[in-house]
Amino acid sequence: MLRIGTAALLMVVGSVSVFAGPATGEEKLSDLQARMDAIQADLDASTDKVNQAHDLEQDLRNQLDALDVRIEDTESKSGKLRARVAERAAEIYKDGGISTLEILFSSDDFADLTDNAELLSQISVDDTADFVSLERSEDELGLLREEALGKSKLLAEIEKELLAEAELLQAQLASVADEYTDLKEKLAAAEAARAPTTSSAAPAAPAPAAASIPSSGGMHCPVAGPVSFSDTWGAPRSGGRSHEGVDMMAAYGTPQVAIVSGTITYAGYSDLGGNVQYLSGDDGNLYIYIHQAENQVTSGHVQAGQQISIVGDTGNAAGIPHLHFEFHPGGGGPINPTPLVSSIC
């Protein structure tokens, strides 16, 4: 998320002393951290609303898909029963009996039909069972269609809410972009000024990395700008799928960079993913970028931090610009990338 770590912020202590006055470097650092925390809290709150609306939307879509299957099955069942009842009615009519078709379809309901014992006696048990099954099937079909209509209306409302929340988040991201860039530049200058001093210091021992998560040393946040995300690993997605990445919300057109040095082994387009890139890292891991507006690098070796694409909303992300980012350790199946990007963004 749009985080500047405490370690990085400590680099500005030496430079903030140029602001003469009673405020100490530590006090200036505290103000800076508070501002960054406030920005991040606002972005995260909006991101949570977008994710909640998106999860509800996907769940409703899956429910509608299941209803469509049930409606199709029930329509098929009703059609077969209707044909069988009509066929038996035709047979009885040809044999000179009372028109079963008239008996069956002129009755208001089955109770009305059973009131006429004389007519009912001319209808076989199988014919009666078929009519009862047909009536029940038609009733079920009506209820299913009513339920589907209600869910469709709710889905339309949720989609409207989702796009509204996404627009708000885009505006927030754009509004902090200049401040974020200015802060990054100040931090970079402070780091450069401190370089001669820190170069002679003994390096601190790195913290142990989580299982399957590479050390963040030398890695770059895949989104080079204000970004917000939350852990949505395993959340429902269309077609009964589950979410296998992290959605990194950023302003449309924000640069996307190589998280590590490696080779772009695939760059193409898919209906769901839109523009997609595969980065086979020199560290042996596979990193996948999805939904970008443009794949600026389509093949060859790239350096860590090199721009390779820009944030977009292609594929099924229309109206919600973000990077869907996946982490495949050793080039195998995906694992939750949230801990990784949280450590470097």
Q: What is the pLDDT of residues 287-323, one digit of tens each?
A: 999 999 999 999 999 999 999 999 999 998 988 899 9
Nearest by Cα to 291 from 270, 306, 305, 308: 270
Is it the case that residue 198 has pLDDT exceeding 90?
no
- The pLDDT assigned to 311 comes to 97
- Decide if pLDDT at 78 tops 90: no
pLDDT band at 15 (very low <50, low <70, confident <90, very high): very low
Does position 111 have pLDDT exceeding 80, yes or no?
Answer: no
Three-state helix/strand/coil letters over 100-156: HHHHHHHCCCHHHHHCCHHHHCCCCHHHHHHHHHHHHHHHHHHHHHHHHHHHHHHHH
Q: How far apart are the first and last CA of the chain?
A: 5
- Whether 338 is in a domain gets the answer yes
Can you tell me the mean pLDDT for 269-293? 97
What is the rounded average pLDDT of the residues 190-199?
Answer: 59
How many CB atoms are located within 10 Å of the residue 115 CB?
Answer: 9
> Does 163 share its domain with 262?
no
DSSP state of 329: G
> Does 224 lie in the same domain as 335?
yes
Q: How many Å apart are CA 187 and CA 190, to the nearest integer?
A: 5
CATH number at residue 312: 2.70.70.10
What's the pLDDT score for residue 335? 97
Are 41 and 171 members of one domain? yes
**Average pLDDT of the chain?**
75
228 shares a domain with 167: no
If asked whether residues 147 and 225 sit together in one domain, one would say no
Q: State how far the Cα of 74 lies from the Cα of 106, in Å rounded to an integer.
A: 23
Residues 232, 336 within the same domain: yes
Q: What is the pLDDT of residue 25?
A: 43
Residue 228 DSSP label: B
Task: Give domain status of residue 308, yes or no.
Answer: yes
If pLDDT is split at 50, 70 and 90, which confidence band does 58 have? confident
Residue 123 pLDDT exceeds 60: no
Give me the pLDDT at residue 51, please.
77
SS3 assignment, position 27? helix
Q: Is residue 102 very low, low, confident or very high in pLDDT (cuts 50, 70, 90)?
A: low
Q: Is the Cβ–Cβ distance between 251 and 262 less than 8 Å? A: no
For residue 261, tell me if it sits in a domain.
yes
Q: Are residues 132 and 72 in the same domain?
A: yes
**5: how many CB neighbours lie within 10 A of its CB?**
13
pLDDT exceeds 80 at position 331: yes
The CATH number linked to 64 is 1.10.287
- CA separation for the pair 317, 289 (Å, rounded): 13
Look at residues 274, 264, 256 and name the one whose alpha carbon lies nearest to residue 341: 256
Burial class (CB in 10 A: 0-12, 13-18, 19+), 117: exposed
Residues 6+ apart with CB under 8 A from 10: 29
DSSP 323: E
Nearest to residue 66, comparing CAs of 236, 234, 235? Answer: 236
143 and 51 belong to one structural domain: yes
Mean pLDDT to the nearest integer, 186-214: 51
| Predicted confidence (pLDDT) per residue in 213-259, tens digit | 565 568 999 999 888 898 888 887 777 788 899 999 999 999 999 99
Has residue 225 been placed in a domain? yes
Residue 268: which domain range?
Answer: 215-342
Check whether residue 181 and residue 232 sit in a common domain.
no
pLDDT band at 265 (very low <50, low <70, confident <90, very high): very high
pLDDT digits (tens, 9 = 90+) for 27-56: 455 565 667 677 767 777 777 877 787 778
In percent, the amount of the chain with pLDDT more than 70 equals 66
Residue 74 lies in a domain: yes
Segment 329-342 shows an average pLDDT of: 96
Per-residue buried b or exposed e for 242-272, using 16+ beta carbons within 10 Å of the residue's own CB: ebbbbbbbbbeebbbbbbbbbebeebeeeeb
The pLDDT value given to residue 19: 31
- 24 domain residue, yes or no: no
Helices (H), the chain: 6-9, 13-16, 25-94, 100-106, 110-114, 117-120, 125-199, 338-344
Q: Are residues 148 and 110 in the same domain?
A: yes
> What token pair was written down for 143?
């209820």
In a domain, 90, yes or no: yes
Based on the structure, what is the number of domains in the chain? 2
Query: In angstroms, rounded to a whole number, what is the distance separating the alpha carbons of residues 190 and 8?
Result: 9
Specify if 16 maps to a domain: no
| pLDDT range class, residue 112, cuts 50, 70, 90 | low
What does the pLDDT read at residue 9? 34
Q: Are 2 and 226 in contact (CB under 8 A)?
A: yes
Q: Is 260 left (phi over 0), alpha (psi -120 to 50) or beta?
A: beta
Give the SS3 label for residue 92.
Answer: helix
* Residue 22 confidence class, pLDDT cut points 50, 70, 90: very low
